[in-house]
Amino acid sequence: MNYGKEIDLKKDLLFGDYIPLVFKQAIIRGYESKTVGSREYTIEEVVKKTEYTPIIIIGESGLGKTTALLKLKYDIRDQENFLPIYVDLGKFIKKISLLEFIKKYSNQKKNVFIDLFNKGKFFVLLDALDQAPEMFQRDLITEFEEIINGEFSSLGNKIILTCRLSEYPKQLNRYFTVEIQLMSLSKLKSLLKDKLGEEGLSLYQKMTKSLRELCRNPLHLSMILDIYKKEKLPRNRATLYKFFINKVLFDWENVKIVERKDKLDILAWLAYKMNSANKTFMIRNDAEDVISEKLAQINKARKDSNLKGYELQTVMRELLKDGLIVYSDQMISFKHHSLQEYFAACEIREKKIEEKFIENSQWHETLIFVSGLKQNSNNLVKKILNKGELLLAAKCIVSANKIKVSVVDEVVERLIKQLHEPEPWEVYEFLLELEERAKIYLLIYAKTDEPIIRRRCAFALGKMKAYDLADELCKLLYDQDPHTRYHVIRSLGEIKNEVSITFLIDCLDDQDPNVVAIVKWALEQFEEKAIEGYINKKELSDIGKEVIHGLIKILKEAKNPEIRAHAASNLAFLRDDSILDILKSAFQKEHDEYVLSRLAIAIAKIGLKEIPENLALFLYHCEKRWVYNFIYTLDKVGGLQSIPYLKLLDKYPDPAIREFCQEIISKIETERERFL
C-alpha cells in the first residue's frame, strides 16, 4: 500500500519550533551535587570542543537527543569535511553486524563506503540505544566498543551515541559522556517571553510549580506552546499529552472520515502491541495487521449502530496525516517514543496491571503515564511497591491525580530507610519532589536511633530549604552524634531562618572543632544585620582562629576518615595562611581517597604556592568526580594562583577535563589583561 511521500526529517525535527539544546559538560553526583562548566554548551560546541570519539549523549525522554542528532546531521553535511550518517537503532530488527547496519544507512556503494571509511570521512550518529530490541542490545554494545577501539576510530572517523539516562549501560561510563540538562526556570521564562512577549510572561505566572518543572523539558514546552490557547493548563504529564493529542486530532476534523475516538482506540492498540513486542518500529505489513485487528472490532460496533465501516487504507492515510505516527524506511513508528508509551498506557489503564509490566523496565514510563491517567492510583502504587520497585512507585506518586496520604507516607518512609545506602542521590531527588509529606517524615526519622539516617534526614531538610521547620531542626542541635549536629547546622545555614541564630551561637561552645567551624560558616550565610547584636565579624574571625588547632588535631589523629574530611573542608572555609604547611604535610601522609580529595580542594582554595609532589599523582588516579570537584573549586577561586594547579592536568587522559582546565586558564588570563 502506498501512503505517499515519506517524512522529511530536516523539516520535522520536533513538534513545532526547534528549541536550542543545552547541556553541561559533566555532572558530579554527590553531596555537593555541582554542575561542572562555567557555562552551558550546545551540541555543536561539544562536538567542536573535543577531538575524542565516541561522544555519548544521555538524557531523559523529550530532552532533545534525537533532535540534536538530526540538527547536527545537517550542520555537518553543510559545514564539515565529513559525511554524516544518521542511524536509528530502534530499527535494528535483523541480526546483522552494526557496521553493516551503518553501511546500509550510508546509502553508499560498497567500494565508495570502503574508500570513505579508509579516509576517515564518516561521522556516524547512532540514535536511541535504549530503543533497540532488547534481544540485540548486548551484541550492539559489544560491537559498538569493537568499532571504536578498532580501525574505525584510528582512521579518523567519528561517532556519537545517544541513550535514555534510565537505560544507560554502566559499561559505557568510561567514554566521554555528556548529560542533557533540563532548562533552568530562568531559561524557560526567557523562552516564553521571546516566543510570546508579555503573553509568555503571563503564561509563566499562571503555571503551577509542577507545570513549570514539566516545561523545563523542551518536548513538553513545545506541547504547551501548541495547546495553551485552546485548552486549560494541564495538571500533570499525562494530561498534557491528552490535551496535545486531542488538539492534533481536532485540527481539520470536519474534513476527516475516521472519528477521533476510533483513532485513539486504534493508536492505543498499536502502541500496546509494539510495547509488548519491545519494539519502537513495526514493518508496514505487521503494523497493518495489528491495526486491522482493532479495525475489525470497531467496524463490527459501527455496523451494529447502522454506521458505515472504515477501510484500512483510509485509516492509515488519516493517521499518518495527523502526524502522531510516521512512515519511514518501510516502517511505521510513533513520532516520539513517549507517544507510544502514552498510548500504551491508554490501552491498559482500566485493565489489571500485569506483573510483567512492573518487572520489565521498558514498561515503566508507560506505568507512570497510567498513574497520571487514573482517577485513583492507590492500587497501582501498592502493586509496584509489593514488587520492590520503590523509585518507580515514587515516580507514579509524583504523576498521580489522586492518592491516599497513607500510600504516599509508606513510599516516603521506605525512601528514607534507603538513605543508609552509600550514594542515595536518587532517593534525595524523590524526597525533594514529595516535599510536603517528606518533610514530616524526615523530621521524624531525624530522631531515629541510626546516626547515618539522622544526619542524612537533616541534610535533605536543608536541601528542601525547609524554612518552616527551622525551629524543629534546632532541637536536633543537641544530638549526641557530632556528624548529625554538623549536618543540622549546615542545613540551618542553607535555610537561613533567623529563628535559628541564637541556637547556632550556643553551638559555638560545642566541644567538636568541626561543629564549631561549620557554625561559623552557617552564621556567615545570614545578612550582617540579622546577626547584629549577637555577634560581629571580628568575633567570628577570632572563633575561626581558635578552632584551627582543634581541626588540625582531628586531621592528624581522627581514625574516622569522614571526620578527617570534615576537618579538611572546614580548614578550607577558614582560609588561614598559617595552615598551608599543615595541609601539605597531611596530604602527603593521607591514604583515604575521600580525605585526599577534600585536602586537595582545601589546598586549592587557600592557594598553596608550593604544590605537594603527590597531588598530580592523586588527581590522575582518583575517581573522576574528585577531579571535577577540584577543578570546580579552582574555577570559583580564579586568579593567577590557580593556573599552576590547572596545568597539573595538562596530560589528563580525558579530553573534556583538559579542555575545561584550558577554558578556565583562558578566562583567568583574559580577566587579568582586562584588569591591567
Q: What is the pLDDT of residues 460-497, one digit of tens each?
A: 888 888 888 898 889 889 888 888 999 999 999 999 99
Dihedral pair phi/psi, residue 183, rounded to 5°: -70, 150
Range of the domain at 86: 53-179
Q: What's 58's domain CATH number?
A: 3.40.50.300
If asked whether residues 75 and 148 sit together in one domain, one would say: yes
Kindly report the average pLDDT of the chain as a whole number: 83
Q: Which amino acid is located at 331 in the chain?
A: M
pLDDT of 611 higher than 90: no
If asked whether residues 151 and 286 sit together in one domain, one would say: no
| Residue 625 domain-assigned (yes or no) | no
% of the chain exceeding 70 in pLDDT? 90
Domain final residue pick, 179, 194, 210 = 179
| Residue 204 domain-assigned (yes or no) | yes
| Residue 263 domain-assigned (yes or no) | yes
Q: Which residue has the higher pLDDT, 435 or 289?
A: 289
If asked whether residues 196 and 314 sit together in one domain, one would say: yes
Task: Quote the distance between the C-alpha of residue 380 and its chain's center.
Answer: 25
pLDDT in tens, 374-432: 999 999 999 999 999 998 999 999 899 889 999 999 999 999 988 888 778 778 888 88
Q: Give dist(CA 658, CA 50) in Å, integer.
A: 10
**What does the chain come to in residues?**
676
Q: At what angle do helices 451-463 and 482-495 cross, to 10 degrees?
A: 10
To 5 degrees, how large is the angle CA 424–CA 425–CA 429?
A: 120
| Residue 166 domain-assigned (yes or no) | yes
Averaged pLDDT for residues 555-577: 82
| Residue 282 domain-assigned (yes or no) | yes
pLDDT of 208 higher than 70: yes
If asked whether residues 156 and 215 sit together in one domain, one would say: no
Q: Are strands 122-127 and 158-164 parallel, antiparallel or unpaired?
A: parallel
Q: Which residue has the higher pLDDT, 654 or 117?
A: 117
Cell 549526641 -> residue? 480
Q: Give dist(CA 369, CA 261) in Å, integer.
A: 19
Cell 555537593 -> residue? 32
Q: Give dist(CA 345, CA 339) in Å, integer.
A: 10
Dihedral pair phi/psi, residue 34, rounded to 5°: -95, 155
Task: Please give the helix or strand (H or E) that residue 326 lies within, else none.
Answer: strand 325-328
Cell 460496533 -> residue? 301
pLDDT of 335 higher than 50: yes
Non-local (6+) Cβ contacts of 499 within 8 A are 470, 471, 474
The pLDDT value recorded for residue 339 is 95
Alpha helix (H) residue ranges in 418-557 = 425-433, 435-445, 451-463, 470-474, 482-495, 501-506, 513-524, 528-531, 537-557
Q: Are 165 and 179 within 8 A, CB to CB?
A: yes
The pLDDT value recorded for residue 32 is 32
Q: Label residue 591 by pLDDT band (50, 70, 90).
A: confident
If asked whether residues 173 and 78 sit together in one domain, one would say: yes
If asked whether residues 301 and 323 sit together in one domain, one would say: yes
The pLDDT value recorded for residue 630 is 84
Alpha helix (H) residue ranges in 254-327 = 260-276, 284-304, 312-322
Q: Are 427 and 449 within 8 A, CB to CB?
A: no
The pLDDT value recorded for residue 50 is 64
Burial letters for 308-337: b for 16+ Cβ neighbours within 10 Å, e otherwise? eebeeeebbbbbbebebbbbeeebbbbbbb
The pLDDT value recorded for residue 254 is 61
pLDDT in tens, 15-30: 444 444 545 444 333 3
pLDDT in tens, 494-548: 999 999 999 999 998 888 888 988 998 899 888 887 887 787 767 777 777 778 8
Alpha helix (H) residue ranges in 330-402 = 337-348, 355-359, 364-373, 378-386, 390-399
Non-local (6+) Cβ contacts of 100 within 8 A are none
| Residue 359 domain-assigned (yes or no) | no
Cell numbers describing residue 453: 539516617
Q: Are 206 and 194 within 8 A, CB to CB?
A: no
The pLDDT value recorded for residue 268 is 96
Cell numbers describing residue 179: 548529560
Averaged pLDDT for residues 50-62: 79
If asked whether residues 175 and 266 sit together in one domain, one would say: no
If asked whether residues 204 and 286 sit together in one domain, one would say: yes
Our count of domains for the chain comes to: 2
The pLDDT value recorded for residue 617 is 84
If asked whether residues 266 and 287 sit together in one domain, one would say: yes
If asked whether residues 226 and 193 sit together in one domain, one would say: yes
Give the single-character DSSP code of 51: -
Averaged pLDDT for residues 592-599: 86
If asked whether residues 166 and 96 sit together in one domain, one would say: yes
Q: Label residue 110 by pLDDT band (50, 70, 90).
A: confident
Cell 591514604 -> residue? 591
Q: Label residue 609 by pLDDT band (50, 70, 90).
A: low
Give the single-character DSSP code of 640: G
Q: What is the 3-state secondary structure (H, E, C) of 140-158?
A: HHHHHHHHHCCHHHHCCCE
pLDDT in tens, 57-102: 888 888 888 888 888 888 887 666 788 999 999 888 667 888 888 8
Cell 598559617 -> residue? 578
Q: Give dist(CA 549, CA 552) in Å, integer.
A: 5
pLDDT of 3 higher than 70: no
Averaged pLDDT for residues 154-163: 88
CA-nearest of 498, 469, 246 to 488 is 469
| Residue 171 domain-assigned (yes or no) | yes
Q: Residue 599 to residues 28, 272, 279, 586: CA-CA distances in angstroms?
A: 18, 55, 50, 8
| Residue 572 domain-assigned (yes or no) | no
The pLDDT value recorded for residue 300 is 93
How much of the chain is helix, strand and coil, in % rounded to 5?
A: 65, 5, 30
Cell numbers describing residue 638: 580564579
Q: Are 46 and 178 within 8 A, CB to CB?
A: yes
pLDDT in tens, 357-389: 998 888 999 999 999 999 999 999 999 999 999
How far does the chain reach from its first CA to its final CA, in angstroms?
Answer: 73
The pLDDT value recorded for residue 575 is 67
If asked whether residues 151 and 233 sit together in one domain, one would say: no
Q: Which residue has the higher pLDDT, 314 or 594?
A: 314
CA dihedral 380, 386, 391, 393 (to 10 degrees): 20
Task: Please give the helix or strand (H or E) that residue 58 lies within, else none.
Answer: strand 55-59
Q: Which residue has the higher pLDDT, 584 or 486?
A: 486
The pLDDT value recorded for residue 148 is 85
Cell 561510563 -> residue? 173
The pLDDT value recorded for residue 293 is 95
Cell numbers describing residue 483: 556528624
Q: Are strands 331-334 and 281-283 parallel, antiparallel or unpaired?
A: antiparallel
Dihedral pair phi/psi, residue 40, rounded to 5°: -90, 155
Domain final residue pick, 340, 375, 395 = 340
pLDDT of 40 higher than 70: no
Non-local (6+) Cβ contacts of 168 within 8 A are 58, 130
Domain final residue pick, 118, 152, 179 = 179
The pLDDT value recorded for residue 252 is 64
